[in-house]
Amino acid sequence: MIKKILVANRGEIACRIIKACKEMQISTVAVYSDVDSESLHVLMADEAILIGPANPSESYLDFDKIVDAAKQTNSDAIHPGYGFLSENGDFAKYVNDSDLVFIGPDPDTIKLMGDKAESKKMMAEAGVPTIPGNDGELSGNVDAVARDIGYPLMVKAAAGGGGKGMRIVESPEELESAIKAASSEARNSFGNDTLILEKYLDQPRHLEVQILGDQQGNVIHLYERECSIQRRHQKIIEESPSPAINNKLRKMLGEAAVKAAKVVNYSNAGTVEFLFQDGKFYFLEMNTRIQVEHPVTEMITGIDLVYEQIRVAAGEPLSYGQDDIHFKGHAIECRINAES
């Protein structure tokens, strides 16, 4: 039974987790850097621990400081939120090895789904539709691989996200320079320069499906979110349900997401992302965490995703079956971005 949770994050998501814990009568511990001492999440939590200076690598990204804070406060579990260490399989394993509960999927699942090349290959083998391209990492006769896929195509980093390590290639003459640029950017951003090639979809919609799984093997979906309005490959508007698909496609999309989750024995909250064009959808990637836009799904389904995350992490089965999930109304989230 989880009685105390350390929230390994800051800002809005930390406040959201603390709020859910209060409703569940679970004690909370906030961690903070020295510039966040008066932040709202610190004030909301039952306890707060200073874990270092403003530089995240010395505070919010430091495995030892976070786990030490959890042990110091006799916490039972750590919730990583989103960003920071939320999709770091090594951190999840470190938490579990420290006799603490990691509120998220299994460390091996996080690592597997963090590798775009390996996850795409696994999904294709399981019958989940994938974007035409090479099945594994880029190697061998690259020109021949590109020719088979056809132009335009996308050179894409196998690790990471957020548009880093991606280049659109319109012709064979552009391929070599695009690979060099994408490889360099991926190495600098993620410490991994592995690349894959995919057919470039010129007018796709970005659809993602919220899923929940428990440790008993049950997986459900909570319908889709439309995330096509983006800037620099970063989402700006997210809404649910998507105005672009009908109920037949919606059912197929949800079933594909559940199949993808079951292939990797997924437990906890996650999101399966797809590209949709010309009436067809293709697996893009899986986010092994709660997402920024999770309230959009909560508003149309009435289901508290963080509440379910905590229950599942404690070993309890999902509160709902697929037939219990219905949506009502329409919800939109707008991200406000500060930029130069």
Separation of alpha carbons 108 and 61, rounded Å: 19
Give 205's contacts (C-beta < 8 A, 6+ positions apart): 226, 228, 242, 244, 275, 276, 277
Give 324's contacts (C-beta < 8 A, 6+ positions apart): none
Q: Where are the alpha helices (DSSP H) in 61-140?
A: 63-72, 89-97, 107-114, 116-126
Q: How far does the chain reach from its first CA to its final CA, in angstroms?
A: 47
* Collapsed DSSP state (helix, strand, coil) of residue 275: strand
* Collapsed DSSP state (helix, strand, coil) of residue 192: coil
For residue 102, which amino acid is it?
Answer: F
DSSP classification of residue 130: B
Q: Find out whether 320 and 305 touch, Cβ atoms under 8 Å.
A: no
Peptide bond into 105 cis (omega under 30): no
Q: Which among 227, 217, 223 has a CA at the least distance from the CA of 251?
A: 223
Q: Which among 141, 185, 189 has a CA at the least distance from the CA of 167?
A: 185
CA 239 to centroid of chain Cα atoms: 17
* Collapsed DSSP state (helix, strand, coil) of residue 217: coil
Structure-token pair, residue 332: 């939109």
Structure-token pair, residue 229: 């309005």
Active site residues: 289
